[in-house]
Structure 1
Amino acid sequence: MRFISFKTDAGESWGVLQDDGVVDVGGKLGGTLFSILREGRLEEAKECAAGSRIDFKEADVELLQPILTPEKIACIGVNYANRNAEYKDGSEQPKFPSLFMRTSDSFTAHDQPLWRPPESEQLDYEGEIVIVIGKEGRRIPEEKAYEHIAGLSVMNEGTLRDWVRHAKFNVTQGKNFINSGSIGPWMVSADEFTAEQYENMRVRTWVNGELRQDDTTASMMFPFKYIISYLSKFYHLKPGDVIATGTPNGAGARFDPPKYLQPGDEIKVEVDGVGTLINGVIDEPL
């Protein structure tokens, strides 16, 4: 099922997007998609949606980020083998994942514009697959990792390239400008996927119709199950936590000259079996 958070003239809610419209599950069960995950009630939500009539037409709702208040947004960097080679620094394949954190307000939703801040003209795109945790755990074995996935979403992990180099040991500054990235349009529940799909899932990114990124999770140095197991060694992973799994090669910074995003551009990130996330670009309103 495609779980969404959304807004109408009546306020914010959450539910399931069906082919013929939206079931307002929040109007029936209360809470948010995040709270339902935390309470372990996702199966109840599925049953509610399956047994309910459509409440809204798709055109009558404005999509929000699927998980509005995640406790953690953990992002894995340089996770595709050919992306490590793309740096052209002669480094060996890493033994452990690179990791940084983002805040929820550094993202916007599907069909909303990314903001290019006045501090930089180097706004870049990074198409990624997002894991949403559905079952808490510490020190999760790899062979049990998939049991902890609630669903998948899509991310444009927008980055201000010059600001990721403002300090020697971190990239946090360039990863957390307001509305510089996006998540959405929805979360597809884990029962829609098999282990084989997790391990060979295609992600593509277009800018203004030009295909810039195209790879599959088979190229990942650290697959989903390893990422979950690794993070759970030091994090207490909890339902509603969000994990960005890394981007393929082809980001704008890697072109010569670089192809950074400009106001008026359109970025489309598509993940097979999940959906397509679309955003424009504007200068940040001041």
Structure 2
Amino acid sequence: MRFATVIAGGRQVYGAVIEGGIVALSDDFPQWPSLREVIAADALGALEVAAQGRAVTHADGDFAWDIPIPAPEKIICVGVNFPDRNAEYKDGQEAPPNMSLFIRFPRSFTGHGQALIRPPETPQLDYEGEIAVVIGKGGRRIAEGAALDHIAALTLCNEGTLRDWVRHAKFNVTQGKNWDRSGAMGPWIVPFRDHAQITDVHLQTRVNGEVRQDDRTGRMLFPVARQIAYISTFTTLSPGDIIVTGTPTGAGARFDPPRYLVPGDVVEVEAEGIGILRNTVEDEA
């Protein structure tokens, strides 16, 4: 079963995604204001039981998708995590021994079906299709062999980037990665029950139906278990934290000439077992 956060009737609610819409469940569990608290309570199973046999409460078209975990404590993104991505930099360097990391803010993401926003300051809005893992069981210095057991759920991410702004400084990319609604996450979370859901999964990004990125998580330079172990070495991971695990080669900046997103484009990120995250592109009003 899949679970989502949506905006319906001016309210943010969460529920189970079924054929034809969602079954709102948040009023049934007032002790858990959002899916973040549900995950912290290890209660996705309780939601699944509560949804059984229920009819749609909000039909498709009667709500707007929000990011699944509205206010995670941390969103940590892994950069340059596929072999061909490392080669794209053309610096002659082998893959580094440790992963590159940066932070994103929740406000920089929008939900499924919403528009990615291109700001007036730059036209260089780019896409990066990725799988994101939602931490269920927190911890510090988590052993790599046990790391996947700390995952509660999976979702999809379009880690939209303003390319020239990631080069505004010598040592960081923060300002190019955090423009309001420049990326997307969702549409829902899929509970994590089997390591095979992440170890070798097909991931693809399409722009207007054209395949731009296509790879498998089994080729990651730093597999997800390694990511969780490494990140938890220096910071305590908490339930509801999100790790965005890395994008394959094929982002728009790597074409000659670059192929940045423009208003009217439709970007789809798809991963087997999770679904499709679809967004349009608009200029900021």
- Per the TM superposition, whether the score is higher than 0.5 is yes
Contiguous gaps of at least 5 residues in structure 2: none
Aligned match of 1:204: 204
Instruction: Say if 2:4 and 2:187, in contact at 8 Å, map to a contact too.
Output: yes
- Matched to 1:231, the amino acid is I
Once residues 283 and 196 of structure 1 are traced to their aligned partners in structure 2, the CA distance between those partners, rounded to angstroms, is 39
Question: How well do the aligned residues superpose, as a CA RMSD in angstroms?
Answer: 1.2
Q: Does 1:95 align with 2:94?
A: no
- Matched to 2:129, the amino acid is G
Once residues 240 and 67 of structure 2 are traced to their aligned partners in structure 1, the CA distance between those partners, rounded to angstroms, is 12
Three-state SS of the structure 1 residue aligned to 2:218 is helix
Instruction: Say if 1:17 and 1:58, in contact at 8 Å, map to a contact too.
Output: no
- Matched to 1:82, the amino acid is D
Once residues 266 and 198 of structure 2 are traced to their aligned partners in structure 1, the CA distance between those partners, rounded to angstroms, is 27
Once residues 8 and 263 of structure 1 are traced to their aligned partners in structure 2, the CA distance between those partners, rounded to angstroms, is 26
Aligned match of 1:270: 270
Kindly state the Cα deviation for residue 59 of structure 1 after the two structures are TM-superposed.
3.0
Contiguous gaps of at least 5 residues in structure 1: none
Three-state SS of the structure 1 residue aligned to 2:205 is strand
Residue of 98, 112, 115 corresponding to 1:113: 115
Aligned match of 1:231: 231
Three-state SS of the structure 2 residue aligned to 1:70 is coil
Kindly state the Cα deviation for residue 51 of structure 1 after the two structures are TM-superposed.
5.4
Three-state SS of the structure 1 residue aligned to 2:189 is strand
Once residues 91 and 11 of structure 2 are traced to their aligned partners in structure 1, the CA distance between those partners, rounded to angstroms, is 50
Between stretches 2-11 and 124-133, larger displacement belongs to: 2-11
Kindly state the Cα deviation for residue 134 of structure 1 after the two structures are TM-superposed.
0.7
Three-state SS of the structure 2 residue aligned to 1:233 is helix
Residue of 163, 181, 184 corresponding to 1:182: 184
Instruction: Say if 2:157 and 2:183, in contact at 8 Å, map to a contact too.
Output: yes
Kindly state the Cα deviation for residue 8 of structure 1 after the two structures are TM-superposed.
1.3
Aligned match of 2:47: 45
1:73-119 superposed Cα distances (whole Å, 9 cap, x missing partner): 00000001111012111111110110000000011111110111111
Three-state SS of the structure 2 residue aligned to 1:215 is strand
- Counterparts of 1:21-170 in structure 2, within 5 Å, are 21-30=21-30, 31-50=33-52, 52-170=54-172
Kindly state the Cα deviation for residue 52 of structure 1 after the two structures are TM-superposed.
3.7
Once residues 230 and 52 of structure 2 are traced to their aligned partners in structure 1, the CA distance between those partners, rounded to angstroms, is 35
Instruction: Say if 2:44 and 2:191, in contact at 8 Å, map to a contact too.
Output: no
Once residues 256 and 187 of structure 2 are traced to their aligned partners in structure 1, the CA distance between those partners, rounded to angstroms, is 32
Three-state SS of the structure 2 residue aligned to 1:59 is coil
Three-state SS of the structure 1 residue aligned to 2:166 is helix
